[in-house]
Amino acid sequence: MTSYTPPLRDIAFVLDEVSGYPELLDTDLFGHVDGETVTMVLGEVGRWIADVVAPTNADGDQIGTQWQEDGSVVAPDSFTAAYKQYVESGFGAIPFEPDFGGGGFPWVIGIAIQEMLTSANMAFALCPLLTQGAIDAFLHHGSDEQKAMYLPKMLTGEWSGTMNLSEPQAGSDVGAVATKAEPVGDGSYKITGQKIWITWGEHDMADNIIHLVLARTPGAPPGTRGITMFAVPKYLVNEDGSIVDEVNDISCVSIEHKLGIHGSPTCVLSYGDNGGAIGWPVGDEFTGMRNMFTMMNNARLSVGLQGLSLAERAYQQGLEYSIERKQGTAIGGEKGVQSSIIDHPDVRRMLMTQRSWIDAMRYLTYTNAVAIDRATSATDADARQAATEVADLYIPLSKSLCTDLGSELTSMAVQIHGGMGYVEETGVVQHYRDIRIGPIYEGTNGIQAADLVGRKLPMRGGNVVLEQLAGFEEAALELGKIDRLAAFGANLTESCGIAREATAWLLENGPADMNDALAGSAPYLRLLGTVVCGGLTAKAALTAQAALDGGASADDASFYEAKVISAKFFGEQLLPSINGLLSSVTAGSADLFALSAEQLA
């Protein structure tokens, strides 16, 4: 199946009625943005993505990118043609600053575009995603000269960008980075070292590739304190922005052979084999790790979005198959006549589980993006701080919960297909293979869980989390006033209580023995993330029910009714899954370390 239908009505619902996006348009920063224009733009982008990008997905998987003996990497022809149109469209510039050719739209609109692009072709979408992260780093930390030189063509996509952290001896342990940067004397540095896992580190779709590289200057202190970020272009750039027709001292040694995302080259890059690749510091010396986190924070939200995007694509495929595929006779069906498998309860269970979680993930990731926009646009210091806290809390939830669910829900789509799902020609298994990198990308989900309990949970003594729970408890009371949502309300109240208990245990016991906190961090992230999704789903249910009570038109009524039923399913059948997680959160670390490595063998 190569078709993909952008869920524009679902996106509009979460934007306009759940995430808080309309409030952004009342701010000075985004006051120029017109809601009707946004709707029109998303519709146009969605149509282009469905028509041009979605059909390339199979090529990416079956043809893949090809490494050549000269170190170049060739993308499938369909990718190159689609990327050329992407550059010409200007879609990549929509959420960035007008000073450099951007549209100045809120980041959440960029997230909506990312969702659709990733659903259409995750491997292809990774190139613009990494470029957007590099743009963000330049905007926050680059010099005026660097912004003027790089950003106009990076916003269009004419030039792409990368993030270079990992090395053979330094994966997630960035403090072990050994790449060297020797000063030349004119403000530039010669970079030598090897970087691995560099997504779209070499390719033939863009005219230039701007690598952001972490390296150590002479005499740098050990660990992350001694790291500086450098801009190292594939082709050096003249002061007027033109490209020097000579490749910088960077070579692609190889690309990885991976489980999925075959259309996205994961490169091993060697810097300085012939004396040193020329690069320039981005930001001050020894601020590289902090500056890189500017890229990584937004990238983590985008990776979480990949879980939503692939789950949506796989759901669409599974739903279509369940309608077309006939097998067995459903309960109450005519004897001897095969029924569509969508009429069987277990298939319905899987479809409803997918649909309800997809809604919830969209509420989470888009609300996360709006919090980032609020932190950027707020003029009041207290409001800016409050929005920053919510954004920071939601990042590990968005990244980890959504990528775990992406793996689970795409697997469910394979299951709906039965034996045909295990056959590559069906195409659904590609989504399952592609998203499996999500829980690993941009800091594994275990690292995200550690970040949640080690850095995010202690914010204001745990009150950032507790304030979120208090808001959800208020929503639960409102649900209790609606007969068909009362059970959801009761479950949400109970779930918030469980989350409070888990939070209190971690706050009390974590400082005494961090191993105890880390032992419970992954189940706590699943627990809290599910409760947050439940609270946001409650808001969506209340909004949809109010629209129904207000006399929505027939078409709108059908849509809102579906949202209420999806929310009801989440609240009654998915939210209670957290009840069994509390004991895992509070168990401590003793049993984890009770067996030696030899005993585990």
Nearest to 357 by CA among 482, 526, 489, 473: 526
Is 598 known to be catalytic? Answer: no
Count of domains observed in the chain: 1
Of the CA atoms within 13 Å of residue 6, those in its CB half-sphere come to 26
**CA-to-CA distance for 313 and 326, rounded, in angstroms?**
22
pLDDT tens digits along 33-76: 999 999 999 999 999 999 999 999 999 999 999 999 999 999 99
**141 neighbors 129 (Cβ within 8 angstroms):** no
Residue carrying the six token digits 């985004």: 30
The gap between the terminal CA atoms of the chain, to the nearest Å, is 43
> Which residue in 312, 389, 442, 473 is the catalytic one?
442
pLDDT (tens digit per residue) in 329-376? 999 999 999 999 999 999 999 999 999 999 999 999 999 999 999 999
- What pLDDT sits at residue 543? 98
Going by C-alpha positions, the residue among 168, 216, 399 that lies closest to residue 296 is: 399
478 within domain boundaries: yes
- pLDDT band at residue 239, thresholds of 50, 70 and 90? confident
168-219: per-residue pLDDT in tens? 987 666 778 899 999 999 999 999 999 999 999 999 999 999 999 999 999 9
3-state secondary structure of 258: coil
Both tokens assigned to 65: 């990118």
Give, for 37, the enclosing helix (H) or strand (E): helix 35-48
> Hey, what's the torsion of the CAs at 17, 8, 395, 166, to 10 degrees?
-170
pLDDT at 555 over 90: no
pLDDT at 384: 97
2 pLDDT exceeds 80?
no
Residue-level pLDDT at 296: 80
Tokens 């006399």 found at: 551
Structure tokens at 6: 């952008």
Residue 246 confidence (pLDDT): 84
CA pair distance 293, 471, nearest whole angstrom = 29
Q: What is the pLDDT of residue 174?
A: 72
Cα–chain-centroid distance for residue 109? 14
Burial of 556 (0-12, 13-18, 19+ CB in 10 A): middle
pLDDT digits (tens, 9 = 90+) for 155-170: 999 999 999 999 998 7
User: In this predicted model, what pLDDT tens digit does every residue of 415-428 receive, in sequence order?
Assistant: 999 999 999 999 99
Residue 383 domain-assigned (yes or no)? no
592 in a structural domain: yes
Sign of torsion over alpha carbons 471, 474, 480, 482: negative
Residue 140 in domain: no
Q: pLDDT class for 295, splitting at 50, 70, 90?
A: confident
Q: Report CA 381 to chain centroid distance, whole Å.
A: 28
Residue 190, beta-bridge partner list: 182, 278
Q: Give the pLDDT score at 483.
A: 98
**CB-CB neighbours of 2 under 10 Å:** 11
pTM: 0.96
Cα atoms found within 13 Å of the Cα of residue 221, Cβ hemisphere only: 9
Whether 553 is covered by a domain: the verdict is: yes
Q: By three-state DSSP, how is residue 438 classified?
A: coil
Whether 286 shows a pLDDT value over 90: the answer reads yes
Question: Is 92 domain-assigned?
Answer: no
Separation of alpha carbons 407 and 424, rounded Å: 17
Nearest to 227 by CA among 218, 215, 238, 242: 215
Position 170 scores a pLDDT of 73
Domain that holds residue 529: 459-601
Hunting for tokens 């849509």 — which residue is that? 559
Nearest in space to 441 (alpha carbons), one of 185, 128, 166: 166
Residue range 304-325: mean pLDDT, rounded: 98
Residue 14 lies in a domain: no
Residue 463 has pLDDT above 80, yes or no: yes
With cut-offs at 50, 70 and 90, classify the pLDDT of residue 292.
confident
Are 416 and 351 a contacting pair, CB within 8 Å? yes
Give the containing element (helix H, strand E) for 66. Answer: strand 66-67
Q: What's the whole-number mean pLDDT along residues 457-469?
A: 97
Which contiguous run of DSSP H or E holds residue 199?
A: strand 189-199
Report whether pLDDT(7) > 80: yes
Whether the per-residue pLDDT at 569 is higher than 90: the answer is yes
Compute the radius of gyration of the chain from its Cα atoms. Answer: 24
Instruction: Kindly give the residue spans of alpha helices, DSSP state H, lying in 332-439.
Output: 345-377, 381-417, 428-435
Amino acid making up residue 239: E
Q: What is the spatial distance between Cα 426 and Cα 429, in angstroms, rounded to a whole number?
A: 7
Asked if the structure places residue 535 within a domain, the reply is yes
Confidence at residue 205, expressed as pLDDT on a 0 to 100 scale: 98
pLDDT, position 1: 59
